[in-house]
Structure 1
Amino acid sequence: MSTQQAEVQSEAAQTRRAVSNILKGSAGNLVEWYDLYVYTVFAAYFQSHFFNSQDDLQAGLEAMAVFSTSFLMRPVGAWFFGRYADRKGRKAALTLSVTIMSAGSFAIAILPTTQQIGVWALILLILVRLVQGFSVGGEYGTSATYMSEAATSKRRGFFSSFQYVTLIGGQMLALLVLVILQNTMDKGALTEWGWRIPFAIGGVAALVVLWLRRSMEETVSAEQVEAAKVPAVAGVAQPGTMKLLFTQHWKPLLICIGVTLGGTVAFYTYTNFILKFMNDTSGIAKTDTSVINFWALFIFMLLQPVYGIISDKVGRRPLLLWFGITGVLFTWPLLSTLAGTKDPFTAFLLMLGGLLIVGGYTSINALVKAELFPASIRALGVGLGYAIANSLFGGTVPLLGAAFQKAERVDLFFTYVTVAIAISLVVYIFALKNKKATHLDREQGDAWNRPAKDDDKDKDLINA
């Protein structure tokens, strides 16, 4: 066998291994985000069982407030699972997070209502959502890290984009379940008990993923795991610790927060809040808005790998600039037009237009963040940076949007989204470089065929 043939076979084997690991990692991501999104998708049907308000807008506001509480636990989950993943391995952390999410879904599926146990129903709902927020807080950073490390060097953009394929797929799956139940059950039965079905489905699916993740390959080196077991020495920061993150990698952490801020606000606006927004402002029937949301998200999901492939050719930064510039220019026109449209097809085109803009961020943001940190602190740095921005800005989008709607000042919400994107655009322009050497390039193979330089080994270069 020639050297060239051996190299081709080796590359094919690496690709097969990467595909296998990405599928196992992303399957859990899909289920985790399905379990998270199913709450908002079915909120209109179960809110009367936990919130006493007779005003639909007020009850919706209270439901979104409970949804937002789960984001309070995101930073805690990111810290716990990030530290766990950097010290014990990605596989162990991802397996634990999906186990916790499964338990939360089963709990909501059997949760007593306010009519049965009074205010304790709401308290229990909040507690379960906090636990699920803890789980998702760990899932994002660890899965972003795992997929970036498991990908082949020349196709990192393509492979890592599947984090958002499955993240969007989780929301799509929740919408699909909604559409099926809306067409197979009458509204009364769906409101009375049918809303429990999707939570039970999520719990069962998570158990399946738990079995799949047992055969994932580990991407953390044995040396790093052993280093984490060594007793702490004064002045020496161990892998996966806050001391290491804040003393040696605080700049990448701040950049990670800045990269996430505008993207997470735009993402939750166009994928999560937009369903309630259309239901309340457009006058389009709920069954139609569900279908609009489903097909727009389906196209959006399919485009993630396309954006990822483009980033493997031109670099990551151009896609972020696409998102930032078009987001600043078109957010207000898109949302204000959507608020007044009565035509379902027009609403579909407007939503899809917003998602095409957001795709520049969603497809490659996980990889951009993973490239900022070395393996010893990657899961913690990515997870905590994302969780802070997500908790403060992305997770509050449904609550802020509902509050502005109730106050009849939805124009201020459009401004909020635009300003958030503008802040991240500044970060993309001034804090990121295109096609520069990263920690991932040094650890897992160079993405751009650059010759290795000895004097670059310890540089903390920032790349997009």
Structure 2
Amino acid sequence: MAVESAVMATPRSRTRQLLATSAGNLVEWYDWLAYAYLTTYFADQVFPQSGDRLVPLLSAFAVFAVGFVMRPVGGLVIGAISDRFGRRTAMTLTITLMGVGQLSMAVLPTYAQVGLLSPLLLILIRLIQGFSVGGEFAVSSVFLVESAPPGRRGLFSSFSYFSSNLGQLLAAGVAALLSNTLSQSDMASWGWRLPFALGAVACLIGLWVRYGTDETYVHAEAIREGRTRRPGLFDFLRHHPRESLLIVGITVGATVSFYTWSIYLPTYAEITVGADPGQALIASTIALAFFTVIQPLGGLLSDRVGRKPLLIAFGVGFTLLTVPMLNLLQNSFWSLLLIMCVAMVLLTGYTSVCSAVMVELFPAHVRTTGIGFPYAATVAMFGGTAPYLATALADSGRGAWFGWYATALILVSTVVYIRMRETRDTPLS
């Protein structure tokens, strides 16, 4: 029985499903990225002072990286909860955990108040947030695509990155507003806590919105009543090893491209061509807004022509253009903006359809774990390390090597896109 006909009854209920999932996803990614934007303000408050001002900052960024370690764990555990107890249960858990993390950040005691307990608490908070975000992509992607009407799975899929991009823009906007409104001393002492408090309130709202959604997983009740077997934790790997490996292949080049072009490029331009940090950040924000707006267009196009053409266009485009575009970077606002917008168009070939493609690969009872663990592990291994690798190579005088590294990974994904089957017309079990 197809999910499209079994679960969703009316256009109004489908719209609520879409809005509820997108709102929750937005809040999740706002919370995840607010840490990165506010690190410079709270690092001195949490980590012991030293003679080098960079030491607390580096320590705070190291804790940011720790969150990536928990993402595969979150993808596996929360995916299992989704496949056993339902998508709503798993989405309620992710947003609750993120709300706890945000509230904890808002009231985190400083090193001056509690000593070593302060950075230890920060690490614990970041582990919780990484665990939550690791499960969020898979369960929200599955819920979105299962909620879609026939012929609109690509469109619904595109709202995964649409909402996460909005969360990133909101986090950057709130941080920029406060940093330009409050004094430097106020931001360092208490102002950095306000965005986290706002995030905690937003999580409550997102929790309420998600609570009113309809369950899309028709097997959840049968599993609870013992009428069907509960899926094992690694059933996705045992029975669907090819599909699990496909998730890795689909993701490996794309995650490096995403973190390079949508998050790290302003810093890369500053390091390699001496771009003005303020101008680079403005260009990045405009490009990210453009990237957000075109997501639904990519999803709609995939519903007409299929997923493979968009994935192949993304893969071939970045395989041929990654190194040339990085080499064309100049200390110019318009040059940077143009290159970033071209990259955003190419990247949309992946981001607007990846949720639909991944969901269409697996049967319902292992769908979330089948996506969650391999996806999160690949992102942690290749996406999360991309900014650090690029910085290290640039610092050693081998900055050009990063472009070739990214190209090699994208080429691997491109081969996967060409060889994989088209999934657009695959019925969801």
TM-score, normalised relative to structure 2: 0.91
How much has 1:434 moved relative to structure 2?
A: 2.3
Q: Who is 1:462 aligned against?
A: none
- Aligned AA for 1:420? L
Q: Give the Cα separation in 1 of the matches to 2:243 and 2:309.
A: 19
Q: Who is 1:206 aligned against?
A: 203
Q: In structure 2, do the counterparts of structure 1 residues 270 and 188 end up closer, same or farther at CA, with 3 Å as the change threshold?
A: farther
Deviations 1:5-60 (A, max 9, x none): xxxxxxx9633221111100111000001111112222333333345566676665
For residue 158 of structure 1, the aligned residue among 142, 155, 158 is: 155
Q: Who is 1:253 aligned against?
A: 244
Kept in 2: contact 1:38–1:199 (CA 8 A): yes
Q: Who is 1:8 aligned against?
A: none
How much has 1:144 moved relative to structure 2?
A: 0.5
Aligned: 1:30 with 2:21: no
Q: Who is 2:364 aligned against?
A: 375
For residue 438 of structure 1, the aligned residue among 423, 426, 429 is: 426
How much has 1:281 moved relative to structure 2?
A: 4.6
Q: Give the Cα separation in 2 of the matches to 1:366 and 1:206.
A: 23
Kept in 2: contact 1:372–1:439 (CA 8 A): no
Q: Give the Cα separation in 2 of the matches to 1:55 and 1:264.
A: 33
Paired positions, count: 421
Kept in 2: contact 1:266–1:358 (CA 8 A): yes
Q: Who is 1:65 aligned against?
A: 62
Q: Who is 1:362 aligned against?
A: 351
Unaligned runs of 5+ in 2: 1-7
Aligned: 1:230 with 2:236: no
How much has 1:283 moved relative to structure 2?
A: 4.0
- Aligned AA for 2:38? F
Q: In structure 2, do the counterparts of structure 1 residues 54 and 278 end up closer, same or farther at CA, with 3 Å as the change threshold?
A: farther
Kept in 2: contact 1:26–1:162 (CA 8 A): yes
Q: Give the Cα separation in 2 of the matches to 1:59 and 1:412.
A: 29
Q: Give the Cα separation in 2 of the matches to 1:191 and 1:33.
A: 23
Q: In structure 2, do the counterparts of structure 1 residues 352 and 187 end up closer, same or farther at CA, with 3 Å as the change threshold?
A: farther
- Aligned AA for 1:121? S
Deviations 1:208-248 (A, max 9, x none): 10111110010011x4432355399xxxxx44423421221
Aligned: 1:16 with 2:12: yes
- % same residue: 39
Q: Give the Cα separation in 1 of the matches to 2:121 and 2:20.
A: 32
Trace 1:397-412 onto structure 2 (pairs within 5 A). 397-412=386-401
Kept in 2: contact 1:82–1:240 (CA 8 A): no
Q: Give the Cα separation in 1 of the matches to 2:118 and 2:266.
A: 26
Q: Give the Cα separation in 2 of the matches to 1:158 and 1:231.
A: 34
- Aligned AA for 1:75? P
Q: Who is 1:302 aligned against?
A: 293
How much has 1:88 moved relative to structure 2?
A: 0.8
Q: Give the Cα separation in 2 of the matches to 1:261 and 1:328.
A: 13
How much has 1:84 moved relative to structure 2?
A: 0.8
281-290 or 241-250, larger mean C-alpha shift:
281-290
Q: Give the Cα separation in 2 of the matches to 1:350 and 1:63.
A: 31
Aligned: 1:266 with 2:257: yes
Q: In structure 2, do the counterparts of structure 1 residues 282 and 174 end up closer, same or farther at CA, with 3 Å as the change threshold?
A: farther
TM-score, normalised relative to structure 1: 0.84
Q: Give the Cα separation in 2 of the matches to 1:49 and 1:413.
A: 34
Trace 1:294-333 onto structure 2 (pairs within 5 A). 294-333=285-324
Aligned: 1:393 with 2:382: yes
Trace 1:328-339 onto structure 2 (pairs within 5 A). 328-338=319-329
Unaligned runs of 5+ in 1: 1-11, 233-237, 444-464
Q: Give the Cα separation in 1 of the matches to 2:40 and 2:250.
A: 33
Q: Give the Cα separation in 2 of the matches to 1:325 and 1:58.
A: 41
327-336 or 273-282, larger mean C-alpha shift:
273-282
- Aligned AA for 1:244? D
